[in-house]
Structure 1
Amino acid sequence: MSQNGVPDFAELLKSARHTAVHLEMRDIYSVGDETETFERFLRTGEADLDPDSALWQGWTPLVREAVGRGVVIRRARIVSEPVTDYIRYEHALTPVNIAVGEQVRWLPRPQTSEIALPGNDLWLIDDRLILFHFFTGDGGWAGHEYSEDPTVVKLCASAFEAVWERGVDHEKFAV
Protein backbone atom coordinates (compact mmCIF):
# COMPACT_ATOMS: atom_id res chain seq x y z
CA MET A 1 0.00 0.00 0.00
CA SER A 2 1.41 3.40 -0.93
CA GLN A 3 1.02 6.68 0.91
CA ASN A 4 -2.35 8.12 1.97
CA GLY A 5 -4.11 4.76 1.66
CA VAL A 6 -3.91 4.75 -2.14
CA PRO A 7 -2.86 1.30 -3.34
CA ASP A 8 0.32 1.04 -5.35
CA PHE A 9 -0.52 0.75 -9.06
CA ALA A 10 1.39 -2.51 -9.44
CA GLU A 11 -0.75 -3.98 -6.62
CA LEU A 12 -3.92 -2.83 -8.36
CA LEU A 13 -2.93 -4.34 -11.69
CA LYS A 14 -1.92 -7.58 -9.99
CA SER A 15 -5.39 -7.69 -8.41
CA ALA A 16 -7.11 -7.48 -11.81
CA ARG A 17 -8.91 -10.64 -12.79
CA HIS A 18 -10.58 -9.67 -16.06
CA THR A 19 -10.01 -6.07 -17.21
CA ALA A 20 -7.87 -3.02 -16.67
CA VAL A 21 -8.73 0.11 -18.66
CA HIS A 22 -6.86 3.38 -18.78
CA LEU A 23 -8.41 6.68 -19.87
CA GLU A 24 -5.97 9.46 -20.74
CA MET A 25 -7.32 12.93 -21.49
CA ARG A 26 -4.38 15.33 -21.40
CA ASP A 27 -2.41 16.70 -24.34
CA ILE A 28 0.80 16.97 -22.36
CA TYR A 29 2.35 15.08 -19.50
CA SER A 30 5.53 16.24 -17.88
CA VAL A 31 6.44 13.37 -15.63
CA GLY A 32 10.07 13.26 -14.58
CA ASP A 33 10.91 9.73 -15.66
CA GLU A 34 10.14 10.59 -19.29
CA THR A 35 12.01 13.90 -19.52
CA GLU A 36 15.18 12.55 -21.11
CA THR A 37 13.49 10.29 -23.65
CA PHE A 38 10.96 12.98 -24.59
CA GLU A 39 13.74 15.53 -25.17
CA ARG A 40 15.60 12.96 -27.30
CA PHE A 41 12.43 12.37 -29.32
CA LEU A 42 12.07 16.12 -29.92
CA ARG A 43 15.69 16.33 -31.10
CA THR A 44 15.86 13.17 -33.20
CA GLY A 45 12.33 11.85 -33.78
CA GLU A 46 13.50 8.53 -32.33
CA ALA A 47 11.49 6.57 -29.78
CA ASP A 48 12.66 3.65 -27.62
CA LEU A 49 10.73 0.69 -29.03
CA ASP A 50 12.57 -2.01 -27.07
CA PRO A 51 10.06 -3.36 -24.53
CA ASP A 52 12.96 -4.70 -22.45
CA SER A 53 14.91 -1.43 -22.26
CA ALA A 54 15.40 0.58 -19.08
CA LEU A 55 12.65 3.00 -20.14
CA TRP A 56 10.07 0.23 -20.13
CA GLN A 57 11.29 -2.03 -17.29
CA GLY A 58 8.76 -0.63 -14.82
CA TRP A 59 5.82 -1.17 -17.18
CA THR A 60 6.16 -4.02 -19.63
CA PRO A 61 6.67 -6.81 -17.05
CA LEU A 62 3.46 -5.71 -15.27
CA VAL A 63 1.48 -5.79 -18.50
CA ARG A 64 2.93 -9.09 -19.66
CA GLU A 65 2.11 -10.69 -16.32
CA ALA A 66 -1.47 -9.39 -16.30
CA VAL A 67 -2.13 -10.31 -19.93
CA GLY A 68 -0.60 -13.72 -19.23
CA ARG A 69 -3.27 -14.22 -16.54
CA GLY A 70 -5.98 -13.38 -19.08
CA VAL A 71 -6.53 -9.73 -18.13
CA VAL A 72 -7.61 -7.57 -21.07
CA ILE A 73 -5.82 -4.21 -20.93
CA ARG A 74 -7.24 -1.35 -22.97
CA ARG A 75 -5.99 2.24 -23.17
CA ALA A 76 -7.99 5.10 -24.69
CA ARG A 77 -6.46 8.50 -25.34
CA ILE A 78 -8.48 11.63 -25.98
CA VAL A 79 -6.39 14.15 -27.92
CA SER A 80 -6.65 17.62 -29.38
CA GLU A 81 -5.78 18.13 -33.03
CA PRO A 82 -3.37 19.08 -34.30
CA VAL A 83 -1.65 16.94 -31.69
CA THR A 84 1.01 18.25 -29.34
CA ASP A 85 4.63 17.15 -29.48
CA TYR A 86 3.96 15.03 -26.42
CA ILE A 87 1.11 13.17 -28.13
CA ARG A 88 3.37 12.56 -31.14
CA TYR A 89 5.88 11.08 -28.66
CA GLU A 90 3.21 8.88 -27.05
CA HIS A 91 2.03 7.75 -30.46
CA ALA A 92 5.60 6.84 -31.45
CA LEU A 93 6.01 4.75 -28.27
CA THR A 94 2.63 2.99 -28.47
CA PRO A 95 3.88 0.02 -30.53
CA VAL A 96 5.55 -1.18 -27.32
CA ASN A 97 2.24 -1.03 -25.42
CA ILE A 98 0.67 -3.11 -28.17
CA ALA A 99 3.60 -5.54 -28.41
CA VAL A 100 3.21 -6.50 -24.74
CA GLY A 101 -0.54 -6.99 -24.98
CA GLU A 102 -2.35 -3.67 -24.56
CA GLN A 103 -5.06 -2.54 -26.95
CA VAL A 104 -4.88 1.19 -27.71
CA ARG A 105 -7.31 3.60 -29.32
CA TRP A 106 -7.23 7.34 -29.94
CA LEU A 107 -10.16 9.74 -30.07
CA PRO A 108 -10.02 13.35 -31.28
CA ARG A 109 -11.41 15.64 -28.57
CA PRO A 110 -14.28 17.11 -30.67
CA GLN A 111 -15.80 13.64 -30.83
CA THR A 112 -16.19 13.56 -27.03
CA SER A 113 -18.63 16.45 -26.60
CA GLU A 114 -21.59 14.14 -26.01
CA ILE A 115 -19.76 11.89 -23.54
CA ALA A 116 -19.98 12.48 -19.78
CA LEU A 117 -16.29 12.30 -18.90
CA PRO A 118 -14.69 12.18 -15.47
CA GLY A 119 -12.48 15.14 -14.68
CA ASN A 120 -9.24 13.18 -14.43
CA ASP A 121 -7.25 10.42 -16.06
CA LEU A 122 -7.91 7.04 -14.50
CA TRP A 123 -7.38 3.34 -14.34
CA LEU A 124 -10.49 1.19 -13.84
CA ILE A 125 -9.85 -2.36 -12.64
CA ASP A 126 -12.51 -5.05 -13.21
CA ASP A 127 -15.30 -2.44 -13.21
CA ARG A 128 -14.92 -2.32 -9.42
CA LEU A 129 -12.19 0.11 -8.45
CA ILE A 130 -10.66 3.27 -9.83
CA LEU A 131 -7.32 4.97 -9.45
CA PHE A 132 -7.58 8.61 -10.52
CA HIS A 133 -4.39 10.44 -11.54
CA PHE A 134 -4.06 14.16 -10.83
CA PHE A 135 -1.68 16.43 -12.74
CA THR A 136 -0.54 20.02 -12.48
CA GLY A 137 -1.43 22.45 -15.26
CA ASP A 138 1.87 21.78 -17.01
CA GLY A 139 1.50 17.99 -16.75
CA GLY A 140 3.50 17.07 -13.65
CA TRP A 141 2.26 14.49 -11.13
CA ALA A 142 -0.03 16.01 -8.49
CA GLY A 143 -1.35 12.90 -6.74
CA HIS A 144 -3.78 10.02 -6.89
CA GLU A 145 -7.14 9.06 -5.46
CA TYR A 146 -8.64 5.61 -5.09
CA SER A 147 -12.38 4.93 -5.25
CA GLU A 148 -14.70 1.95 -5.14
CA ASP A 149 -17.85 4.09 -5.05
CA PRO A 150 -20.32 2.25 -7.33
CA THR A 151 -21.72 5.51 -8.76
CA VAL A 152 -18.25 6.76 -9.68
CA VAL A 153 -17.26 3.36 -11.08
CA LYS A 154 -20.40 3.33 -13.24
CA LEU A 155 -19.67 6.83 -14.61
CA CYS A 156 -16.06 5.97 -15.39
CA ALA A 157 -16.91 2.62 -16.99
CA SER A 158 -19.58 4.26 -19.14
CA ALA A 159 -17.22 7.07 -20.17
CA PHE A 160 -14.43 4.67 -21.06
CA GLU A 161 -16.71 2.43 -23.13
CA ALA A 162 -18.11 5.43 -25.03
CA VAL A 163 -14.60 6.67 -25.80
CA TRP A 164 -13.48 3.18 -26.76
CA GLU A 165 -16.45 2.67 -29.08
CA ARG A 166 -15.70 5.91 -30.96
CA GLY A 167 -11.92 5.56 -30.81
CA VAL A 168 -9.61 4.74 -33.69
CA ASP A 169 -7.23 1.77 -33.39
CA HIS A 170 -3.63 2.88 -32.97
CA GLU A 171 -2.57 1.44 -36.33
CA LYS A 172 -5.15 3.61 -38.13
CA PHE A 173 -4.65 6.85 -36.17
CA ALA A 174 -2.24 9.24 -37.88
CA VAL A 175 -0.55 12.03 -35.98
Structure 2
Amino acid sequence: MALRFSDYIRYEHSATPYANLAGGELVRWLPRHRASDLALLGNDFRLFDERLVRFGLRSGDGEATGYEDSDAPAVVKLCSSAVEAVWERGIDHADHRPA
Protein backbone atom coordinates (compact mmCIF):
# COMPACT_ATOMS: atom_id res chain seq x y z
CA MET A 1 0.00 0.00 0.00
CA ALA A 2 1.45 3.34 -1.03
CA LEU A 3 1.22 5.80 1.82
CA ARG A 4 1.41 9.57 1.66
CA PHE A 5 2.72 11.63 4.50
CA SER A 6 2.28 15.26 5.38
CA ASP A 7 5.26 17.59 5.45
CA TYR A 8 4.97 17.65 9.23
CA ILE A 9 5.19 13.85 9.59
CA ARG A 10 8.22 13.76 7.27
CA TYR A 11 9.81 16.50 9.41
CA GLU A 12 8.92 14.69 12.64
CA HIS A 13 10.38 11.43 11.31
CA SER A 14 13.62 13.13 10.25
CA ALA A 15 14.02 14.81 13.67
CA THR A 16 13.32 11.65 15.69
CA PRO A 17 16.92 10.35 15.72
CA TYR A 18 18.17 13.64 17.19
CA ALA A 19 15.35 14.34 19.61
CA ASN A 20 13.93 11.00 20.73
CA LEU A 21 16.32 8.19 19.87
CA ALA A 22 19.37 10.12 21.12
CA GLY A 23 17.64 10.40 24.49
CA GLY A 24 17.10 6.64 24.70
CA GLU A 25 13.44 6.63 23.68
CA LEU A 26 12.07 3.75 21.63
CA VAL A 27 9.93 5.01 18.77
CA ARG A 28 7.41 3.15 16.65
CA TRP A 29 5.07 4.52 13.96
CA LEU A 30 1.51 3.32 13.43
CA PRO A 31 0.03 3.97 9.99
CA ARG A 32 -3.69 4.71 10.15
CA HIS A 33 -4.59 1.70 8.00
CA ARG A 34 -3.10 -0.57 10.69
CA ALA A 35 -5.22 1.04 13.44
CA SER A 36 -8.73 0.69 12.02
CA ASP A 37 -9.83 -2.09 14.36
CA LEU A 38 -8.23 -0.69 17.53
CA ALA A 39 -10.28 1.08 20.17
CA LEU A 40 -8.26 4.24 20.75
CA LEU A 41 -8.91 7.02 23.21
CA GLY A 42 -10.20 10.41 22.11
CA ASN A 43 -7.44 12.46 23.75
CA ASP A 44 -3.69 12.20 23.43
CA PHE A 45 -2.10 11.02 26.65
CA ARG A 46 1.14 10.18 28.39
CA LEU A 47 1.42 7.15 30.63
CA PHE A 48 3.89 7.54 33.50
CA ASP A 49 5.27 4.40 35.17
CA GLU A 50 1.97 2.60 34.54
CA ARG A 51 0.46 4.49 37.45
CA LEU A 52 -0.51 7.94 36.15
CA VAL A 53 -2.14 9.13 32.93
CA ARG A 54 -1.93 12.73 31.74
CA PHE A 55 -4.49 13.61 29.08
CA GLY A 56 -3.76 16.54 26.80
CA LEU A 57 -6.92 18.59 26.38
CA ARG A 58 -7.74 20.56 23.25
CA SER A 59 -10.48 22.86 22.06
CA GLY A 60 -12.64 22.05 19.04
CA ASP A 61 -10.15 23.78 16.72
CA GLY A 62 -7.18 21.85 18.12
CA GLU A 63 -5.82 24.56 20.42
CA ALA A 64 -4.19 23.15 23.59
CA THR A 65 -6.31 24.06 26.62
CA GLY A 66 -4.52 22.22 29.39
CA TYR A 67 -4.26 18.74 30.79
CA GLU A 68 -5.98 16.38 33.17
CA ASP A 69 -4.27 13.72 35.31
CA SER A 70 -5.76 10.44 36.46
CA ASP A 71 -4.38 7.70 38.67
CA ALA A 72 -7.65 5.76 38.73
CA PRO A 73 -6.74 2.08 38.25
CA ALA A 74 -9.39 1.53 35.54
CA VAL A 75 -8.16 4.55 33.53
CA VAL A 76 -4.52 3.50 33.87
CA LYS A 77 -5.42 -0.05 32.79
CA LEU A 78 -7.38 1.20 29.77
CA CYS A 79 -4.57 3.48 28.63
CA SER A 80 -1.96 0.75 29.23
CA SER A 81 -3.88 -1.69 27.07
CA ALA A 82 -4.20 0.94 24.31
CA VAL A 83 -0.44 1.55 24.37
CA GLU A 84 0.27 -2.19 24.19
CA ALA A 85 -2.07 -2.67 21.22
CA VAL A 86 -0.56 0.25 19.31
CA TRP A 87 3.01 -0.79 20.17
CA GLU A 88 2.45 -4.32 18.84
CA ARG A 89 1.24 -2.96 15.49
CA GLY A 90 3.73 -0.13 15.22
CA ILE A 91 6.70 -0.14 12.90
CA ASP A 92 10.13 0.44 14.43
CA HIS A 93 11.53 3.84 13.51
CA ALA A 94 14.50 2.27 11.68
CA ASP A 95 12.12 0.37 9.40
CA HIS A 96 9.60 3.16 8.75
CA ARG A 97 10.14 5.21 5.60
CA PRO A 98 7.79 8.11 5.01
CA ALA A 99 7.52 8.90 1.30
Deviation at 1:138, TM superposition (A): 5.1
Structure 2 counterpart of 1:128? 51
Unaligned runs of 5+ in 1: 1-80
**Among residues 50, 68, 71, which one is paired with 1:145 in the alignment?**
68
> What RMSD in Å do the two structures reach over aligned CA positions?
1.5
Q: Which amino acid aligns with 1:95?
A: P
TM-score between the two structures when normalised by the length of structure 2? 0.86
CA–CA distance in structure 1, aligned partners of residues 16 and 93 of structure 2: 8
Unaligned runs of 5+ in 2: none
CA–CA distance in structure 2, aligned partners of residues 135 and 89 of structure 1: 23
Higher relative contact order (CA 8 A, sep 6+): 2
Q: For residues 158-169 of structure 1, what are the structure 2 equivalents within 5 Å?
A: 158-169=81-92
CA deviations over 1:54-88 (Å, ceiling 9, x no partner) = xxxxxxxxxxxxxxxxxxxxxxxxxxx52222111
Q: Which amino acid aligns with 1:152?
A: V
Rg larger in 1 or in 2?
1
- Identity rate of aligned residues, in percent? 56
Q: Which amino acid aligns with 1:87?
A: I
